[in-house]
Amino acid sequence: MSDESIKEETLDPSDWSESRATGQRMLSDAFDDLENIRSRPAWKRISLEAKAALHEAPPRNPQSLNSVYEDYRTNIEPYALGNRHPRFWGWVIGSGTAIGMLGDMLASAMNTNSGGFEQSSAYVEEHLIGWFKELFGFPAEASGLLVSSGSAANLTSLIVARDAIVPSVVGEGLAAIERRPVMYASEEVHNSVEKAVGIIGLGRSALRRIRTKDDFTMDVEALKEAIAADKAAGLHPVCAIGTAGTVATGAIDDLDAIADVCRDNDMWFHVDGAFGAMAALSDSLRPRVKGMERADSLAFDLHKWLYVNFDAACVLVRNPDAQLRSFSIPVSYLSALPGGVAHGPRTYGEMGIDLSRGFRALKAWMSIKAYGFDKYARMVDQNVAQARYLASLVSAHDNLELVAPVPLNIVCFRYVRAGLSAGQLDDLNERILVRLQEDGLAVPSGVRVRGKFALRVANVNHRSRRDDFAALVADSARIGNELALVT
């Protein structure tokens, strides 16, 4: 029996054609923003008005979508991080593409929970991961999972590593273990690895930070010594992490040598290839990441050097059973059925932390199909060539110097001037960096390399041109000269 007096509501638009028109305007504006991004400052400080507008009391009553969108246009969109801009090279933050934007929109339009089952998104993810397995030389039976970030990919990998080498942890926890598990990475390792080692319960001090050589790659002899010393002390070496492209300078560890050490010591070999794994796209760079194909697990981002829109990363695990051991807990309410929805390639909740998850694979699958891997290879080569070009301009400049080699796409440099102390130079370079950003000229980030503060350009930007790097050099030197006069 229906009760006519009950007024049922929905969140669907009351006027579909008006909503559609607003949506079309949003999409058109987003394309305009991307098309004209070069004419904007690389970064703009958030205005006081915009900050104030974002302190509204929780709204109880509806506002029109048009007015909400005006709020976005005025107070939100203009104050983005800047990574769409051709002169943004800070941290390692990819620039995204129009296709990635559309992929995100379509994924949201489908609004599927991409946790598995018999649905297209599960097959797209499996298919995409198959392409990555081929790209990185992993066996076809390896497993994989899209995750939110390189940090999540490292964490997922180290959980699997811990459980593969010390399986009792899965059921009994760490308290039941006699020998403390320890892991190894170079002192240049990204802090997400240290964070992961802490999160998985080993304690951050269980990450042994192995010294690096002059080229910032791990000293593998020191790794062997550290493992021997830990074994002698009654500890349990379980995993070594090689980095393909360190965050500070882009150094690529000798992955083959680390793989050998892991094999000889019954240890798990994990590679953090957050951005550097993508060197495998390029015929000329691929030999540099040799050994990566021997990893037990590999973490890499799609939102860095594959230019996919945020967020998307991936983990590959050579032995699928190892991944299942860590994450699979059979329960009736998620069991596969002989047909219907609960049937399909796999449930991704058995492969990682998330059960419910968005359809991240779509934007990556669409992008790779639309561009083709050869185009990505050329973009990666272009970014490396641009980094070398920037390095050559820096080297040729009287007031600039490189503070690290440039093996890949990262350039660390600083302003120098005779007569200034080490502390004054650090301070001056910090101020140059802030001025570059605040004047909207360019966004490098900062880093300390062997104690010296430097400007750091991580080039994962497909919009940059050689002129942009020439401008960075000119602006850095000009600002340096101006500030040095008052130092």
Ligand X SMILES: Cc1ncc(COP(=O)(O)O)c(C=O)c1O
Q: Which residues contact ligand X by CB under 6 A?
A: 91-92, 149-151, 190, 192, 243, 245, 247, 272, 274-275, 301, 313
Alpha-carbon distance 358 to 350, whole Å?
16
Residue 348: CB atoms within 10 Å: 25
CB of 89 to ligand X, least distance (A): 12
Judged by beta carbon, residue 346 or residue 363, the one nearer ligand X is 363
Q: Are 316 and 153 in contact (CB under 8 A)?
A: no
Q: How far is residue 120 CA from its own chain's centroid?
A: 26
Helix (H, G, I), strand (E, B) or coil at 359: coil
Judged by beta carbon, residue 149 or residue 309, the one nearer ligand X is 149
CB of 310 to ligand X, least distance (A): 9
Q: Are 306 and 274 in contact (CB under 8 A)?
A: no
CB of 469 to ligand X, least distance (A): 20
Q: In what order do the strands lie in the sheet with 313-317?
A: 143-147, 313-317, 297-301, 268-272, 236-243, 181-186, 207-210
Q: In what order do the strands lie in the sheet with 400-402?
A: 400-402, 410-415, 452-458, 445-449
CB of 301 to ligand X, least distance (A): 5
Length of the chain: 487
CB of 335 to ligand X, least distance (A): 33
Q: What is the DSSP string of 396-443?
A: H-TTEEESS--SSSEEEEEE--TT--HHHHHHHHHHHHHHHHHTTS-B
Alpha-carbon distance 188 to 253, whole Å?
10
Judged by beta carbon, residue 90 or residue 116, the one nearer ligand X is 90
Alpha helices (runs of H) in 286-421, residue ranges in sequence order: 320-327, 360-371, 373-396
Residue 385: CB atoms within 10 Å: 13
Judged by beta carbon, residue 169 or residue 193, the one nearer ligand X is 193
Q: What is the DSSP string of 282-294?
A: STTTGGGGTTGGG
Judged by beta carbon, residue 146 or residue 169, the one nearer ligand X is 146
Judged by beta carbon, residue 23 or residue 405, the one nearer ligand X is 405
Judged by beta carbon, residue 211 or residue 343, the one nearer ligand X is 211
CB of 243 to ligand X, least distance (A): 6
Judged by beta carbon, residue 100 or residue 480, the one nearer ligand X is 100
CB of 132 to ligand X, least distance (A): 16
CB of 340 to ligand X, least distance (A): 36
Judged by beta carbon, residue 400 or residue 404, the one nearer ligand X is 404
CA distance between the termini of the chain: 83
CB of 197 to ligand X, least distance (A): 13
- The alpha carbon dihedral of 377, 126, 247, 81 has a sign of positive
Q: Are 461 and 410 in contact (CB under 8 A)?
A: no
CB of 103 to ligand X, least distance (A): 18
CB of 251 to ligand X, least distance (A): 10
Of all residues in this chain, which one has the CB nearest to ligand X in the complex? 150
List all residues 6 or more positions away from 384 whose beta carbon is below 8 Å from its beta carbon: 282, 285, 408, 409, 459
Judged by beta carbon, residue 157 or residue 382, the one nearer ligand X is 157
Judged by beta carbon, residue 230 or residue 354, the one nearer ligand X is 354
Query: Which of 263-280 are b and which e, b meaning 16 or more Cβ less than 10 Å from the residue's Cβ?
Result: eebebbbbbbbbbbbbbb
Helix (H, G, I), strand (E, B) or coil at 299: strand
